[in-house]
Structure 1
Amino acid sequence: MSRLTLLFCLLYSSLSFGQQKYWVYLNERDLNSHPVISPKTVENRRMLGLEVNQVTDFGPKKQSLEVLKKLNIETVNISRWFNAVSAYLTPTQANSLRFLPEIKSIEPISSGYLSYNSESNKSIKIENFQAPFAITQMNGQELIRGGFLAQKVDVGIIDGGFFEAPDNYLLKHIFDKKKVKAYRDFLYPDKIDFFNTKESDGDFHGTAVWQLIAGKDSSRSLYTGLATEANFYLARTESGKQEARIEEDSWIAAIEWLDSLGVRLANSSLGYTMGFTNPAESYSPDQMDGKTTLIAKGAQIAVKEKGMILVVAAGNEGENKKWGGIVASPGDVEEVLSVGANDKQGLKMGYSSKGNPAVSFVKPDVTAYSEFGTSLSAPVITGLAAALLGIKPDLTSDELKIILKSSGILSGVPNTYIGAGYPDVIQIANVFSGDYKPKAVVNIEGVEEVNLSEYFSEELLIFHKISDKVVIDQNYREKPQKNAFLKRPKDIKYTTLVGKNRIVEVRWKTE
């Protein structure tokens, strides 16, 4: 066993003996301290018209932290935003804290503990994932052709590890140009080698995500991402060996860290639902409302108060009947840019999570092509978002979402399967130039059948819905023959027909 492995084993083995991880919320903030934000953070807020001085920039008072220290409680992370700390507590410590005047409340995070296993590191090539098609489907090659590749844009990636990234041929240009500005492992803060120590195969995940944000192979003129000239800030928050709520604690610490450095755009291809190692920690579908989970609350603060742009994978639970197929948190947050996965025609990939029909807003927001999960569709959109920020740095999260959704194949009539669908860079260029013309929407009401050939001379997508937003079935149809009629399917109230230049929204006649 290496010395590094031994240190981790000693650190985390002690956590298994009657200790549980908690959020400890404190009553008072240290408003007289100097806020831990950079000049770039201040500049971003002024540019976006946000409050420069925000109360959530001030964390717990030192006196409160000293009280915890005297009780031999070692904090794991300190959250300024929530005025809280995370810490492992015995039952005795947890009970004693509840009665202290400095403590507002305590809430359990996880009963699990992390283990660490250093394995012999083997060089494994990461598959291309056919990402170039995702770019060309949305006409992203136009940004490459014009040289709009996210120059001077800072991008954060919150993920499960970046194993062997410096040796990855698609990321070589980033390291050669010293575009990696900072990185931190929030699970194992004392890790010596960030890029070459592997806990599990999950440590490749962030590397794969990164390729689709900024990958480039100069020898073949291959671009697998649109942000090849951006700067990068990397945060490891996810363990590939287990799922536990302690990872949400790490995620919040990471997003606060990125904000403190002035990083506005971040990709998070992580989501939390029911698959926790300890089933007691799993969520229920009704908690995916964009405001219940702690990670959702952190994402809300990041976007609404800090002016960040969060691009989040919608999740891969689309075919999980027990879960209901709905989006994972923090992809359930209205303010974030949630990304689903579409196939080559533009329909929802079967695995891609659907929007929650119980909320008033539509998720996902947009989609991108991916055969292998929404974890690999979100970074395609992050690369696009970074390229657009390189063109217009003062874009707000709301403005960016409007631009992307307006250019989608379902602009104007988003649904719970694909949101507005995949964006179109040519349409986005029209938005920037003022020449944008939305796709024509034809509304038909009170009919029992529709003559498809009357409206479409090309292939089309069909979405059958039980309400104006909630889809229960989808189809692809080739160019309709003359007098090709579509009749109302049983129990369907609405159907959206999507062609290249036109959308037909049908409200069927019901009895």
Structure 2
Amino acid sequence: MKKISSIIILVLISLQSAAQDRYMVFFKDKNGTPYSTSSPQQFLSERAIQRRAKQNIPVTEEDLPVSPVYTALLEQMGVQVFYTTKWMNGVLVQMDNGQKSLVDNLEFVRATEYVGPDAPLSKSSSLTVQDNAGNIWNEDVTSLPQFTMHGIDEMHDFGLKGEGIIIGVFDDGFQNLGSIPAFNGLTQGNQLLYSFDFTRNTESVNNGRHHGTRVLSLMAANDEYYTGTAPNAKYILCATEAPGEYRIEEYNWLFAAEKADSAGVDIVNTSLGYSHGYSDPSMNYRPEQLNGATTVVTRAANIAASKGILLIVSAGNSGTVVSAPADSPYVLAVGAINEDGLLAGFSSRGTYTPDVFKPDVVAQGQSTLLISVEGTYLRQNGTSFSGPIISGFAAGIWQAYSGKTAAEMREIIRNSGDRASEPHQQFGFGVPNFLRVVQLLKQNTEGSASIFNAYPNPTQADLQIEVDEAFYGERIQIEIISAKGQLTRQVEFIPFGHRNPLTISLQENGVYFVRVITNRGASSRKIIKY
């Protein structure tokens, strides 16, 4: 490593009045990091570690935080350091041209990239918020085509409302969450786990912008008249939109994704998209770069997906090729239809990603009913609002089939679409549906060896009855029969992953027979309690 004492002296004696801009500084390695892949609990939450273990995803050097030695040296040079990225091994900084020249020559620096001018962190703007306010809605909205077309009403009837799932929502801001009654369950309970505004470097996302509030309502709202798709999930909220239209927004998304990953998030919903229209035209992407592997935000999404996160992304509102990161083959890009199933004219479709249909699926994004920043019901347009419908839908499915990986979830949702047999370049795999998911997975598990398993056996206390996945969603009957043939208990049960196994208490010691009856047959087990 080069000696930097002379560099520090030069910087310290220079005037700090020079114009400063935002840059990403990328490092060549992670030398000096105090962390090790053998001790992931030092930099990942237990939930994040469990998610990787469940999906057989190893913790690698990519997961290690950047070297604090390198960031400290930058700070000693007078460079303002903001957020680090372990996945891309870099740091967001603010510095002037003189400092940049010095940083470029540091031995441990691989590259620097201009991502935006200096701007007050209290300001923000949005790149792809393209929706239109509608009229206030005053009728009962507990059962809406925008939800029922996906079988979300049946999903909720089964008790699948996102319990046990963490959803990260990346948007521009979440104004007034604390004052809208429909969000009381979120803000007054323990469902809001974390929030951060990467544009202002503060934990509060109550930043005056409210596109995120409307997006969130489609998942998390829950009041007398309106229930979102995943009202019982837990949430992590991140504001990632920066002042002006600069590439720093894509890096903010990267920082948010890494934070969410470390916290153990399961699903990320993002209604943001990037391709062109930057304030600095040199940052615009050429059409052929929307190929699922080139843009900063798509590369970040690809890495997030490799960590076992399910990413659900709005396709975009240009009516042409989808924006990034919807171009990634590892995300579910969601297009927009109306309540009659007709494609919205603004819904983006098609991609330069080889052998990939985009959008992947569609949901109602035209005249979608949601809750506004004032707490009123509004109908609005945009793939921004079709995406969160699918995110909450996915949360319910993952709750039901908790053993699935993120990659399996992507395929399950795609294959439950009404066009899955013949994917269409405008609709993708079509409208996914919960009951089709149940039927699809039931077909995939036909011929299972047994209906159920009962354990521990012998038992001293409670008995766990675990029903085979082939019978998820079916109404089954469980009978507990004594050694004398007397029916001591009878239970009707509809199994899904979140309620499987079922716990049954056996009152007296002795021999019992457990009988599980389904529409396709019955099976029995002898149990001993002592």
Q: TM-score, normalised by structure 1?
A: 0.74
SS in 1 for 2:174: coil
- When residues 435 and 71 of structure 1 are mapped into structure 2, their CA distance, relative to the original with a 3 A threshold, is closer
Residue in 2 that maps onto 1:353 = 348
Aligned 8 A contact 1:143 1:226 in 2: no
- When residues 117 and 87 of structure 1 are mapped into structure 2, their CA distance, relative to the original with a 3 A threshold, is closer
SS in 2 for 1:96: helix
Given candidates 189, 195, 200, the residue that maps to 1:177 is 189
Residue in 1 that maps onto 2:408 = 399
2:83 corresponds to 1:77: yes
Deviation sequence 1:244-271 (CA, Å, 0-9, x none): 2111121111000001111121111111
Q: In structure 1, what residue type is equivalent to 2:334?
A: V
Deviation sequence 1:168-223 (CA, Å, 0-9, x none): 232222223331111111111146x543x41xxxx111111111112222x23x32
2:94 corresponds to 1:92: no
Residue in 1 that maps onto 2:312 = 311
2:378 corresponds to 1:376: no
In the alignment, structure 2 segments of 5+ residues that lack a partner are 1-14, 37-41, 125-132, 367-380, 447-530
- When residues 357 and 345 of structure 1 are mapped into structure 2, their CA distance, relative to the original with a 3 A threshold, is farther
Residue in 1 that maps onto 2:199 = 187
C-alpha separation between the residues in 1 aligned to 2:135 and 2:86? 37
- When residues 352 and 403 of structure 1 are mapped into structure 2, their CA distance, relative to the original with a 3 A threshold, is same
Q: In structure 1, what residue type is equivalent to 2:92?
A: S
Aligned-pair RMSD on alpha carbons? Answer: 2.6
Q: In structure 2, what residue type is equivalent to 1:346?
A: G
Shift in Å, 1:16:
10
Of 226-235 and 182-191, deviating more is 182-191
Residue in 2 that maps onto 1:327 = 322
Aligned residue-pair number: 401
Deviation sequence 1:129-180 (CA, Å, 0-9, x none): 9893211112211111221111111111111101001222322222233311
Aligned 8 A contact 2:273 2:325 in 1: yes
In the alignment, structure 1 segments of 5+ residues that lack a partner are 1-13, 119-123, 319-324, 438-511
Deviation sequence 1:95-144 (CA, Å, 0-9, x none): 222221111111222236346369xxxxx999679893211112211111
Residue in 2 that maps onto 1:390 = 399
Shift in Å, 1:339:
0.7
Residue in 2 that maps onto 1:20 = 21
Aligned positions of 1:2-401 closer than 5 A: 18-29=19-30, 30=32, 32-33=34-35, 35-51=42-58, 53-111=59-117, 113-114=119-120, 116=122, 132-190=144-202, 193-195=204-206, 197-198=207-208, 203-217=209-223, 219-220=224-225, 222-223=226-227, 225-239=228-242, 242-304=244-306, 306-318=307-319, 325-357=320-352, 359-371=354-366, 372-401=381-410
Aligned 8 A contact 1:346 1:421 in 2: no
Aligned 8 A contact 1:407 1:427 in 2: yes
Deviation sequence 1:444-474 (CA, Å, 0-9, x none): xxxxxxxxxxxxxxxxxxxxxxxxxxxxxxx
Runs of at least 4 residues off by over 3 Å:
14-17, 114-118, 124-131
SS in 1 for 2:201: coil
Aligned 8 A contact 1:23 1:84 in 2: yes
SS in 2 for 1:312: strand
C-alpha separation between the residues in 2 aligned to 1:274 and 1:114? 23
C-alpha separation between the residues in 2 aligned to 1:15 and 1:263? 40
- When residues 232 and 356 of structure 1 are mapped into structure 2, their CA distance, relative to the original with a 3 A threshold, is same
Aligned 8 A contact 1:150 1:227 in 2: yes
Aligned 8 A contact 1:126 1:208 in 2: no
C-alpha separation between the residues in 2 aligned to 1:15 and 1:205? 37
Aligned 8 A contact 1:16 1:113 in 2: no
Shift in Å, 1:15:
11
Aligned 8 A contact 1:315 1:353 in 2: yes
SS in 1 for 2:70: helix
C-alpha separation between the residues in 2 aligned to 1:314 and 1:296? 13
C-alpha separation between the residues in 2 aligned to 1:158 and 1:75? 22
C-alpha separation between the residues in 1 aligned to 2:16 and 2:409? 43
C-alpha separation between the residues in 1 aligned to 2:407 and 2:439? 18
Aligned 8 A contact 2:155 2:396 in 1: yes
Residue in 2 that maps onto 1:413 = 422
Q: In structure 2, what residue type is equivalent to 1:24?
A: V
C-alpha separation between the residues in 2 aligned to 1:99 and 1:336? 38
C-alpha separation between the residues in 1 aligned to 2:46 and 2:249? 29
C-alpha separation between the residues in 2 aligned to 1:280 and 1:243? 12
C-alpha separation between the residues in 2 aligned to 1:360 and 1:110? 34
Q: In structure 2, what residue type is equivalent to 1:247?
A: E
C-alpha separation between the residues in 2 aligned to 1:43 and 1:342? 37
Q: In structure 2, what residue type is equivalent to 1:366?
A: V
Shift in Å, 1:365:
0.7
Q: In structure 2, what residue type is equivalent to 1:113?
A: A
Shift in Å, 1:326:
0.7
C-alpha separation between the residues in 1 aligned to 2:239 and 2:353? 32
